[in-house]
């Protein structure tokens, strides 16, 4: 694959947003090819809709990962408990961040990712009850940190409003000609650099990239991009730092394209595994129903009725036995089945 040349905005010298030519040097054809990525996500969108529990778990994992990047101390299980309304012993701020993140992600359907006011609204939800100036741009100096280490100093506060207006103006002009995968990654970096709010910038950046991608392809609402970022957190901050030094967002774009591709692959793997597990459970329930109607039924008879191989029946019966649900009493020829519980 050759180089991909696109016109996009970058804050040259980090104070203006002119349009310039970027050459993205990468071999991520699966990601940058909009047709290829659409095929991947479309093929699993219908399947994913059948598994609300999988969607819920993916959302919990995304929230946990995005907060963990920002040093939220709650475990994945604790985050799930907070979301489920259970009492959790932990820092009040950490718990509030989970509740806020859930509310923000639930609001994605109602947000226009190309409206600056909607972004302010989302940040206000993310920092509700934590920051006094939720939803408002900062009025003081701010830096980007990896833990206690400062990566760079953000632009002065008096420039924030103009920079953000320019960024959204550019997005609205570019959205028809730039692949959303690339556009959302550019936004992510530029937003992190501007660092327009007192708190919640990283969480807002990741949420907004998801919102931009969801606006293009609904499946991205459930693709765990945040989880892959957390697994590559060091590379995430290195990419930001190197882009700041280089004065362009190329490195971060390439990093995020890799992250998105891996997140899509993970969702594909998870959906395949869930589909397989669901198929097994359905088969096992059919076997149990046959046994309920005839406790003396043979595996050969089950195979004929269900249109399965004898090996397939044996495999599922073995699983039912291991679960303690099914037992064979007596001989294979003259015995009968006993069910102890339902799946």
Rounded Cα–Cα distance for residues 2 and 203 (Å): 34
Question: In this model, does residue 5 exceed pLDDT 60?
Answer: no
40-94 residue pLDDT tens? 666 656 666 666 677 788 889 999 999 999 999 999 999 999 999 999 999 999 9
Q: In the chain, pLDDT over 70 holds for what percent of residues?
A: 80
Q: Is 136 exposed, middle or buried (0-12, 13-18, 19+ CB in 10 A)?
A: middle
Q: What is the mean pLDDT of residues 133-161?
A: 84
Segments of the chain assigned to CATH 1.10.3290.10:
4-273
Task: Give mean pLDDT, residues 149-165.
Answer: 85
Most confidently predicted of 84-98, 179-193, 234-248: 84-98
**6 has pLDDT over 50:** no
Using N-to-C axis directions, what is the helix angle for 299-306 and 310-322, rounded to 10°?
Answer: 110
DSSP state letters, 72-114: ----HHHHHHHHTT----S-HHHHHHHHHHHHHHHTGGG--TT
Task: Summarize the confidence of residues 267-284 as an average pLDDT.
Answer: 71
Closest by CA to 233, choosing from 48, 29, 66, 51, is 66
CB contact set of 165 (below 8 Å; sequence gap of 6+):
116
Identify the weakest region by mean pLDDT among 76-85, 153-162, 263-272. Answer: 263-272
The pLDDT confidence band at residue 213, using thresholds 50, 70 and 90, is: very high
Do the beta carbons of residue 94 and residue 72 sit within 8 Å?
A: yes
Output the pLDDT for position 143.
76
Lowest mean pLDDT among 4-13, 84-93, 189-198, 284-293: 4-13
Write out the residue limits of the CATH 1.10.10 domain(s) in the chain: 294-339
Pick the CATH number of 4-273 from 3.40.50.360, 1.10.3290.10, 2.60.120.700, 3.30.750.24: 1.10.3290.10
- Above 70 in pLDDT, residue 144? yes
Question: Could you give the angle at the alpha carbon of 314 between the alpha carbons of 311 and 318, nearest 5°?
Answer: 140
The percentage of residues in the chain with a pLDDT greater than 90, rounded to a whole number, is: 37
Helices (H), the chain: 29-32, 34-49, 52-69, 76-83, 92-106, 116-126, 157-174, 180-194, 201-216, 225-231, 233-246, 250-293, 299-306, 310-322
Residues counted in the chain: 343
Partners of 149 in beta bridges: 146
Band of residue 26 on the pLDDT scale cut at 50, 70, 90: very low
Question: What is the pLDDT, as a whole number, of residue 335?
Answer: 86
The pLDDT of residue 32 is: 47
* Distance from the Cα of residue 7 to its chain's centroid: 27
Instruction: Give per-residue burial for 275-302: e unless 16+ CB within 10 Å, then b.
Output: beeeeeeebbeebbebbeeeeebebeeb
Q: What does the block give as tokens for 104?
A: 């923000």
Asked whether the beta carbons of 108 and 221 are under 8 A apart, the reply is yes
* CA distance linking residue 200 with residue 329, whole number of Å: 62
Chain mean position to CA 28: 19
Choose the weakest-confidence range: 239-243, 271-275, 325-329: 271-275
CATH 1.10.10, domain 294-339, yes or no: yes
Tokens of 67: 């907060």
Q: Could you give the CA distance from residue 218 to residue 211 in angstroms, rounded to a whole number? A: 9
* Sequence-separated (6 or more) residues with CB below 8 Å from residue 100: 125, 126, 127, 128, 129, 130
Residue 269 in this model has a pLDDT that exceeds 90: no
Task: Check residue 80 and give its pLDDT.
Answer: 93
């Amino acid at each position: 694959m050759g180089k991909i040349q696109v016109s996009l905005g970058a804050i040259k010298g980090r104070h203006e947003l002119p349009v310039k030519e970027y050459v993205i040097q990468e071999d991520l054809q699966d990601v940058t090819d909009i047709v290829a990525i659409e095929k991947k996500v479309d093929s699993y969108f219908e399947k994913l809709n059948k598994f609300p529990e999988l969607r819920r778990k993916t959302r919990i994992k995304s929230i946990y990962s995005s907060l963990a990047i920002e040093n939220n101390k709650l475990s994945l299980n604790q985050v799930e408990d907070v979301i489920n309304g259970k009492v959790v012993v932990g820092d009040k701020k950490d718990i509030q961040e989970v509740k806020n993140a859930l509310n923000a992600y639930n609001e994605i359907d109602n947000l226009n990712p190309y409206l600056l006011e909607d972004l302010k609204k989302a940040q206000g939800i993310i920092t509700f009850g934590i920051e006094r100036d939720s939803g408002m741009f900062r009025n003081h100096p701010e830096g980007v940190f990896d833990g206690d280490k400062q990566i760079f100093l953000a632009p002065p506060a008096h420039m924030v409003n103009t920079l953000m207006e320019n960024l959204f103006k550019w997005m609205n002009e570019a959205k028809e000609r730039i692949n959303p995968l690339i556009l959302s990654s550019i936004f992510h970096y530029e937003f992190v650099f501007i660092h327009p709010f007192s708190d919640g910038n990283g969480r807002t950046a990741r949420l907004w990239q998801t919102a931009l991608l969801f606006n293009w392809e609904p499946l991205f609402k459930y693709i765990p991009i945040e989880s892959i970022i957390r697994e590559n957190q060091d590379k995430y901050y290195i990419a930001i730092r190197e882009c700041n030094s280089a004065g362009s967002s190329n490195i971060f774009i390439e990093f995020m394209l890799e992250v998105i591709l891996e997140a899509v692959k993970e969702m594909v793997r998870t959906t395949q595994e869930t589909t397989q597990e669901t198929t097994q459970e359905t088969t096992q329930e059919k076997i149990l129903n046959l046994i309920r109607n005839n406790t003396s039924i043979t595996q050969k008879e089950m195979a004929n009725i269900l249109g399965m191989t004898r090996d397939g029946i044996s495999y599922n019966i073995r699983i039912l036995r291991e679960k303690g649900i099914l037992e064979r009493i007596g001989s294979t020829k003259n015995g009968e089945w006993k069910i102890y519980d339902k799946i």
